[in-house]
Chains A and B, each alone.
Chain A
Amino acid sequence: DAKTTQPPSMDCAEGRAANLPCNHSTISGNEYVYWYRQIHSQGPQYIIHGLKNNETNEMASLIITEDRKSSTLILPHATLRDTAVYYCIPRGINTDKLIFGTGTRLQVFP
């Protein structure tokens, strides 16, 4: 699976959009990009995943660059409850498991 680079921490004002970048320049053509988050002391929570096209669900939007070497998770209107560690995880089409990196610690402030 591809390696990822995420900023260790980011801040965001409540109500503003939070844009979390992830670099996965070694991603292969059959690897999805998964995003999970972990709120303090809780189990990781699935957010969204995509392969080539941009994706949106009730939680977030995922923008994947055309060359697939990077992606951005967008929380359109961040709330205090979005404070968490966010993990970007490439996952091969035949890969059964998730391999976690160190993620980005997002702090949403009032």
Chain B
Amino acid sequence: DAGITQSPRYKITETGRQVTLMCHQTWSHSYMFWYRQDLGHGLRLIYYSAAADITDKGEVPDGYVVSRSKTENFPLTLESATRSQTSVYFCASSVTGGSGNTIYFGEGSWLTVV
């Protein structure tokens, strides 16, 4: 299902560089989410957004910046990448909030910081 697309899928960057991971969804979902998953661990929520221009912190927001100027896009920026941010990043979306609404995930962006 190509409803959520993430780019780039694979990225290697150097410590201290700025990196932006893009997320685009074609469903006009109100809610969008960013999770990270470190090797061998579960997913942790970084930021989420209820609508354009509305964002909230998740469990691990430090070192990340998000914006949402358009409903369909939710970019995640690492302003100064660190090795600890090496991870797989998953974008997700849902029609709206609340537990009756299923959250759908993208295929992930693999980021390595050297």
> Hey, which bits of chain A sit against chain B, CB under 8 A?
31-32, 34, 41-46, 49, 87, 91-103
**With a CB–CB cut-off of 8 A, which chain A residues contact B92?**
43-44
The answer to whether A96 and B48 touch (CB under 8 A), given A32-B99, A43-B90, A44-B90, is yes
Closest partner residue, chain A, to B90 (CB atom) = A43
Residues of chain B having any CB pair with chain A under 8 Å: 31, 33, 35, 41-45, 48, 50, 58-59, 90, 92, 94, 97-100, 102-108
The residue in A44, A95, A96, A101 that gathers the most chain B C-beta atoms within 10 A of its C-beta is A96
Q: B107 CB to closest chain A CB, in angstroms?
A: 5
CB neighbours (8 Å) of B90 from chain A are 43-44
Q: Which residues of B contact A97 (CB under 8 A)?
A: 33, 45, 48, 58, 103
In the complex, the chain B residue whose C-beta lies closest to that of A99 is: B45
**A44 CA to B93 CA, complexed, in Å:** 12
Which of B42, B59, B94 is close to A101, meaning CB atoms less than 8 Å apart? B42
With contact pairs A41-B108, A42-B107 given, residues A100 and B102 touching in the complex (Cβ less than 8 Å): no
Q: Chain A residue with minimal CB distance to B44?
A: A100
Q: Which of A46, A93, A102 contacts B99 (CB 8 A)?
A: A93
Closest residue of chain A to B108 (Cβ to Cβ) is A43
Q: Are B99 and A103 in contact (CB under 8 A)?
A: no
Among B31, B42, B99, point to the contact of A31 (Cβ < 8 A).
B99
A42 and B43 CA atoms in complex are apart in Å by 12
Chain A residues lying within 8 Å of B44, measured Cβ to Cβ, are: 100
**Chain B residues with CB below 8 A from A45, complex form:** 105
Question: In whole angstroms, what is the CA distance A98 to B105 when docked?
Answer: 11
